[in-house]
Amino acid sequence: MSNDNPAPVPDDEDLLTIADITERTKKNRATIYRWIKGGLFPPGRMTGPNSRQWTRREYRNWLESRAA
């Protein structure tokens, strides 16, 4: 008997898109990419030729580092 359901992904590992990031930060895409280039925001990972994503953990760690 095979189980076709993949193992659940922990919330910290859920992936956020650039749209999710811009919604949460209230900053536009250009600002986020400028921050990445300047080392002010985590680079995330490329998930396609024109697609970048971040884990919730990466985003949360970035928020916590700004509060410190």
Task: Read off the pLDDT band of 21 (50, 70, 90).
Answer: very high
Higher pLDDT, 21 or 68: 21
The reported pTM is: 0.79
Task: Read off the pLDDT band of 14 (50, 70, 90).
Answer: very high
- Domains along the chain with CATH numbers: 12-67 (1.10.1660.10)
Asked if pLDDT for residue 50 goes beyond 60, the answer is yes
Query: Pairing relation of β-strands 45-48 and 15-16?
Result: unpaired
CA 42 to each of CA 1, 7, 54: distance values in angstroms, whole numbers, following the listed order:
42, 27, 8
